[in-house]
Amino acid sequence: MVTNTEKATSYSQQQLALDQMFKDINPALSARQAGIESSRCYYCYDAPCIKACPSKINIPSFIASIHSDDLTGAARTIYQENIMGGSCARVCPTEILCEQACVRNKEEEKAPVKIGLLQRHATDNATFEGHPFERAASTGKKVAVVGAGPAGLSCAHRLALLGNDVEVFEAESKAGGLNEYGIAKYKLTENFAQKEVDFILSIGGITLHTDTALGKDITLEQLKNDFDAVFLSIGLQDTQSLRLDNEDNADVINSVEYIKELRQATDLEQLSIPKDSAVVIGAGNTAIDIACQLKRLGTEEVTLVYRRGEEQMSATKHEQQIAKDHQVRIKTWSRPEQIHTDENGKLTGMSFRKTYLENGKLEDKAEQFDIDCSAIFKAVGQKLNYPEAEQLIPTISNGKIATFHNQLTSIDGVFAGGDCTGVGQDLTVEAVQQGKLAALAIQQQLNSSEVK
Amino acid sequence: MADLSIEFAGIKSPNPFWLASAPPTDKAYNVERAFEAGWGGVVWKTLGEDPAAVNVSSRYSALYDHNGDVSGFNNIELITDRSLEINLQEITMVKKKWPDRAMIVSLMMPCEEEIWKDILEKVEKTGADGIELNFGCPHGMPERGMGAAVGQVPEYVEMVTRWCKTYSSLPVIVKLTPNITDIRFAARAAKKGGADAVSLINTINSITGIDLDQMAARPIVDGKSTHGGYCGPAVKPIALNMVAEIARDPETTGLPISGIGGIGNWHDAAEFMALGSGCVQVCTAAMIYGFDIVKEMKIGLSNWMDTKGYKKITDFQGMAVPNTTDWKYLNMNYKVIAEIDQDKCIGCGRCYSSCEDTSHQAIELTSLADGTNSFEVIDDECVGCNLCEITCPVDNCITMVKQPAEQPYMNWTEDPRNPHREVS
Domain ranges of chain B: 6-315, 327-402
| Residue A377 and residue A257 share a domain | yes
Q: Are residues A368 and A253 in the same domain?
A: yes
Give the number of domains in chain A.
3
Are A153 and A280 part of one and the same domain?
Answer: no
Output the DSSP codes for B383-394: ----HHHHH--S
To the nearest whole percent, how much of chain B has pLDDT over 90? 93
Give the mean pLDDT of B63-75: 93
In this complex, the residue of A42, A48, A104 whose CB is nearest that of residue B350 is: A42
**Residue A95, in any domain of the structure:** yes
Task: Express as a percent the part of chain B with pLDDT over 70.
Answer: 100
Contacts of A46 in chain B (CB under 8 A): 349, 365, 373
| Residue B184 scores a pLDDT above 60 | yes
Is it the case that residue A10 has pLDDT exceeding 50?
A: yes
Residue of chain A with shortest Cα separation from B357: A45
**A48: contact with B, CB 8 A cutoff:** yes
Select the residue from A30, A37, A107 to test the B interface by mutation, using most B Cβ atoms within 10 A: A107
- Residues 287..346 of B with a Cβ closer than 8 Å to A: which? 346
Q: Given a cut of 60, is residue A7 above it in pLDDT?
A: no
The alpha-carbon gap from A305 to the nearest alpha carbon of chain B, in Å, equals 34
What does each C-alpha distance from B189 to A185, A393, B179, B195, B306 come to in angstroms? 76, 95, 16, 9, 38
Q: How far apart are CA A342 and CA A320, in angstroms?
A: 33
Query: Is residue A308 one of the residues assigned to a domain?
Result: yes
Domain B6-315 belongs to what architecture? Answer: Alpha-Beta Barrel (3.20)
In terms of C-beta density within 10 A (0-12 exposed, 13-18 middle, 19 or more buried), how is residue B385 classed?
A: middle
Instruction: Give yes or no for residue A247 having a pLDDT over 60.
Output: yes
Q: Do A349 and A277 belong together in one domain?
A: yes
Instruction: Mark whether A209 and A260 lie in a shared domain.
Output: no
Q: What is the mean pLDDT of chain B?
A: 96
Q: For B280-305, what is the mean pLDDT?
A: 97
Residues 164-223 of A with CB under 8 A from B: none
Q: Which residues of B touch A68 (CB under 8 A)?
A: none
B209 touches chain A (CB under 8 A): no
Is A109 in CB contact (< 8 Å) with chain B?
Answer: no
- Structural domain contains residue A166: yes
**What mean pLDDT, rounded, does chain A reach?**
93
Q: Which of A435, A387, A426, A439 is nearest to A182 (CA)?
A: A426
Q: How far apart are CA A428 and CA A338, in angstroms?
A: 34
Look at residue B424 in the predicted model and tell me its pLDDT. Answer: 56
Query: pLDDT value at position A451?
Result: 54
Distance of alpha carbon A193 from the chain centroid: 11
Which CATH number fits the domain that encloses residue A66? 1.10.1060.10
Asked if residues A439 and A153 have their Cβ atoms less than 8 Å apart, the reply is: no
Query: pLDDT class for B72, splitting at 50, 70, 90?
Result: very high
Closest partner residue to B349 (CB to CB) among A32, A39, A45 is A45
Q: Is 70 exceeded by the pLDDT of residue A21?
A: yes
Supply the CATH number for residue A210's domain: 3.50.50.60
pLDDT digits (tens, 9 = 90+) for B313-324: 999 999 999 999
Looking at the structure, tell me whether residues A410 and A378 fall in a common domain.
no
CB contact under 8 A, A44 and B394: no
- Of the ranges A69-78, B64-73, B190-199, which one carries the lowest mean pLDDT score? B64-73
- Contact flag A104-B371 (C-beta cutoff 8 Å): no
Q: A254: domain range?
A: 239-382
Task: With H, G, I as helix, E, B as strand and everything else as coil, classify residue B184.
Answer: helix
Pairing mode, strands B6-8 and B11-13: antiparallel
DSSP string, A70-121: -HHHHHHHHHHH-TTHHHHHHHS-GGGTHHHH-GGGTSTT-----HHHHHHH
Tell me if chain B has a CB within 8 Å of the CB of A412: no
Paired strand residues for A397: A400
- pLDDT band, very low/low/confident/very high, at A24 (cuts 50, 70, 90): confident
Q: Is B127 exposed, middle or buried (0-12, 13-18, 19+ CB in 10 A)?
A: middle
Spatial contact of B360 and B380, defined as CB atoms under 8 Å apart: no
Mean pLDDT, to the nearest integer, of A296-310? 94
Q: Are A48 and B347 inside 8 Å of each other by CB?
A: yes
pLDDT > 60? residue A1: no
Per-residue model confidence (pLDDT) at position A425: 87
Candidates A166, A160, A146, A178; CA nearest to A415 is A146
Residue A5 confidence (pLDDT): 42
B352 vs A45, A51, A107: nearest CB = A45
Does the distance separating the beta carbons of A44 and B347 come in below 8 Å? yes
Cross-chain residue pair B66–A67, CB shorter than 8 Å: yes
* pLDDT tops 90 at residue A37: yes
Instruction: For residues A159 and A228, state if they share a domain.
Output: yes
Assign A452 a pLDDT band (cuts: 50, 70, 90).
very low
Lowest-pLDDT range of A154-168, A377-391, B92-106, B261-275: A377-391
Residue A131 forms part of a structural domain: no
Partner B contacted by A64 (CB < 8 A): no
Contact B393 A35 (CB under 8 A): no
Separation between Cα atoms, residue A85 and residue A75, nearest integer Å: 8
- A119 and A41 in a common domain: yes
In chain A, the residue whose alpha carbon lies closest to the alpha carbon of B68 is: A36
List B residues 375-414 in contact with A (Cβ-Cβ < 8 A). 393-394
- Residue B67: list chain A partners with CB under 8 A: 36, 39
B349 in contact with chain A, both atoms CB, cutoff 8 A? yes
A67 interfaces chain B, CB cutoff of 8 Å:
yes
A127 vs A2, A71, A123, A132, B85, CA distance in Å? 6, 8, 9, 9, 58
Contact residues, chain B, for A56 at CB < 8 Å: none
Contacts of A39 in chain B (CB under 8 A): 66-67
Distance CA A111, CA A316 (A): 17
Mean pLDDT value across residues B364-371:
94
Phi-psi region of A421 (alpha: psi -120 to 50; beta: other; left: phi over 0): beta
Q: Which residues in chain A are closer than 8 Å to B349, comparing Cβ atoms?
A: 44-47
Q: How confident is the model at residue A450 (pLDDT cuts 50, 70, 90)?
A: low
Would the CB atoms of A36 and B348 count as touching at under 8 Å?
no
Nearest to B68 among A35, A45, A51 (CB): A35
Q: Given this model, what pLDDT does residue A11 score? A: 61
Euclidean distance between CA atoms B239 and B272, whole angstroms: 9
Measured distance CA(A105)–CA(B69) in Å, rounded: 25
CA–CA distance, A237 with A222 (Å, rounded to integer):
22
**Alpha carbon distance A49, A396 (integer Å):** 33
> How much is the ipTM here?
0.85
Min distance B353 CA to chain A CA atoms (Å) = 6
Q: Decide: helix, strand or coil at residue A15.
A: helix
Phi and psi dihedrals of A252, rounded to 5?
A: -95, 105
Residue numbers in B near A35 (CB within 8 A): 68
The minimal CB distance from A103 to the residues B68, B348, B371 is found for B348
Is residue B205 predicted with pLDDT exceeding 50? yes
Residue A2 lies in a domain: no
**A386 falls in which pLDDT band (50, 70, 90)?**
very high
Are residues A158 and A92 located together in one domain of the fold?
A: no
Measured between CA atoms, how close is A44 to chain B, in angstroms?
5
Q: What is the pLDDT of residue B61?
A: 97
Mean pLDDT of A257-267: 90
DSSP class of residue B404? Answer: P
- For chain B, what's the residue count? 424
Which helix (H) or strand (E) segment holds residue B217: the answer is: strand B216-217
Helix residue ranges per DSSP H, A127-191? 150-161, 178-181
Which residues of B are tagged catalytic?
137
Q: Which fold has domain B327-402?
A: Alpha-Beta Plaits (3.30.70)
Cα A351 to the center of its chain, rounded Å: 32
CB pairs under 8 A between A and B: 38
- Write the single-letter amino acid at B112: E
| Beta carbons of A39 and B67 less than 8 Å apart | yes
Task: Kindly state whether residues A282 and A377 are assigned to the same domain.
Answer: yes
